[in-house]
Structure 1
Amino acid sequence: MQLVGYEPSERGSSLLVSDGDVVGRRSLEPGVDLSYRLGSRRCAGVVAPRDGDGDAGADAAGDTEPAADDVRDERPEADAGAVTALRHVACDRPRAPHCEYHSSTWVCARCTGTCLKDEMDCHEPHAVYLAAFAPDTFKVGVTKLWRLETRLREQGADRAAHLRTVPDGRIAREIEAELATRSDLVDRVRTDAKVDALASSVDEDAWESLLDEFDPIDRFAFAYGFDRHLPSRPVRETIAAGTVLGVKGRLLVLERAGTTYAVDMRDLVGYELETGGTERRLQSSLGSFGG
């Protein structure tokens, strides 16, 4: 059984697993116990709609807009069930998570207003937004207007503000590039910074001070349904064993033997899953040793 993708916090978080061409969903609802060892890793191939030929994206079913970091609510399913809308086309090439034939390069992520495609095709309304990641990382970004809230949850944003709606992606990228030159804004957020944010709160004074310079169309505050408050930064690991505490963006938070771990689900894609907890020695937090 191979882990071939994931659904981030916006879409009822789950891991996508394949046994043959059948894609199943392993729920990541808080309280679910995962007990897998990671075996060998190879290209995860393609996850695509079962009734079509389109590529469903490199990391998750249906993703066409990849997460913009260092390089994305609830469905109570405790067991993997068949995801009848999806099929998996396997690949034996060793490069992971995807080989050169199954990696998608989204050129729009590099656009600053001068289209990098042969012909511009982003002729629909786009939103320019600010997203806050605790405690005080503030990101400017753009997305198609109809995807705005979805996109923010995919990234694991804590707060957000819709600044402007513009007619097309080119104009949105020009505005984004201009705002990204500010010293208090970034246009991408590293995964480690998102792990830091798991045990932090947004600096509301700094966030409000930033928004005072704009006139937002709308504002958002997101909660991700964690079982409990995280008192300290989770240990970053690549594992698929432990009790699920929650999912924020593409970060899966697990508790195992008294230690809380943060797993970037993209780092799991391509692994063969074997039943049974990990046998690898893991780093533990100081709190797991007791007083």
Structure 2
Amino acid sequence: MQVVGYEAASEPRASGALFLAADGEIERRELSSGTALDFRLGDRHCAGTIDADEHSRCNAPTAPYCDAHDRTWICARCTGTCLKDEMDCYEEHAVYLAAFAPSTFKVGVTRSWRLETRLYEQGADRGAHLHTVSNGRIARELEAEIAEQLTDRVRVPTKIAGLEQDIDVAAWHGILDQYEPISTMNLDHGLELERQPVRETVASGTVLGVKGRIAVVENGNTPYAVDLRELVGYELHRAKSDRRLQSSFAAFE
């Protein structure tokens, strides 16, 4: 069995999921709070492809995908000058701000109807809708302008470092005062932690919750923050991990 994909939590208190493949068939494993995982990680290699709920295996050693199966989204690199042969993002788009505890703020764009979904997928704690425009090109141009002051990308380690923390409200309001948003949102991931999780790649323990693509799993009285993308490509074996994991101090209390 191999992890061949994941689904980020995309709505309030959502669970997220892993997609597991065995003999060409796909299983969706929901990561709802309380779910017990008992997998040991094996070798990691390319996750292959999924087509119409069927999996095509690839044994190339590059993970999560080899060059032949890499699915990089070209629009993510766009700054208003289309990188495709022909522009096709004619849908209405929103330009937004996303806040990550305690004080990391990014600008982004998405199709207007996906605004709240996109904020949840990224694991943001708060969001602000800045502009609504007629197409993706205009949205990317506005994003590029704002990105001269704010970042347009937040790395997973930064998100994990803020899991147990609250938003710096004064800093967030200071940013909002500069951009006069159309609306703002407080996002509820349903993840309440008593201590900071340890970053780890593991598939064994009890799921405490999922925030965007970060799952928090408790194992041996220690919470671990797992980037779901880092699981993609691993072969799974039905046995608890025999790896020596870094424990929090609370595990010895």
TM-score tier, shorter chain, comes to: over 0.9
What's the counterpart of residue 73 of structure 1? Answer: none
Match runs of 1:15-164 below 5 Å: 15-48=18-51, 50=52, 86-164=53-131
Deviation (angstroms), 1:12: 4.1
What's the counterpart of residue 241 of structure 2? Answer: 278
User: How many residue pairs end up in the alignment?
Assistant: 250
Q: Partners in 2 of 1:5 and 1:219 — Cα distance?
A: 31
What's the counterpart of residue 224 of structure 2? Answer: 261
Give unpaired runs (5+ residues) of structure 1.
Answer: 51-85
Partner amino acid, structure 1, of 2:245: L
Q: TM-score, length-normalised on structure 2?
A: 0.95
Larger CA deviation: 107-116 vs 24-33: 107-116
Counterpart pick for 1:252 among 201, 204, 215: 215
- Shift >3 Å, 4+ stretches: none
Q: Partners in 2 of 1:131 and 1:113 — Cα distance?
A: 20
Q: Partners in 2 of 1:151 and 1:288 — Cα distance?
A: 35
Deviation (angstroms), 1:231: 3.0
Q: Partners in 2 of 1:169 and 1:272 — Cα distance?
A: 38
What's the counterpart of residue 210 of structure 1? Answer: 175
Identity, % of aligned positions: 56
Q: Partners in 1 of 2:178 and 2:41 — Cα distance?
A: 48
What's the counterpart of residue 197 of structure 1? Answer: 162
User: What secondary structure is seen at the aligned counterpart in 2 of 1:9?
Assistant: coil
What's the counterpart of residue 237 of structure 1? Answer: 200
Q: Partners in 1 of 2:32 and 2:193 — Cα distance?
A: 17
Q: Encode CA deviations 1:112-137: one digit per residue, 9 max, x unaligned.
A: 11112221111111100000000010
Q: Encode CA deviations 1:45-87: one digit per residue, 9 max, x unaligned.
A: 1123x2xxxxxxxxxxxxxxxxxxxxxxxxxxxxxxxxxxx22
Q: Partners in 2 of 1:27 and 1:106 — Cα distance?
A: 25
Deviation (angstroms), 1:254: 0.5
Partner amino acid, structure 1, of 2:6: Y
Give unpaired runs (5+ residues) of structure 2.
Answer: none
Deviation (angstroms), 1:288: 1.2
Structural RMSD (CA): 1.2
Q: TM-score, length-normalised on structure 1?
A: 0.83
Q: Encode CA deviations 1:150-195: one digit per residue, 9 max, x unaligned.
A: 111110010001110111111111111111111xx21100111100
Q: Partners in 1 of 2:168 and 2:161 — Cα distance?
A: 13
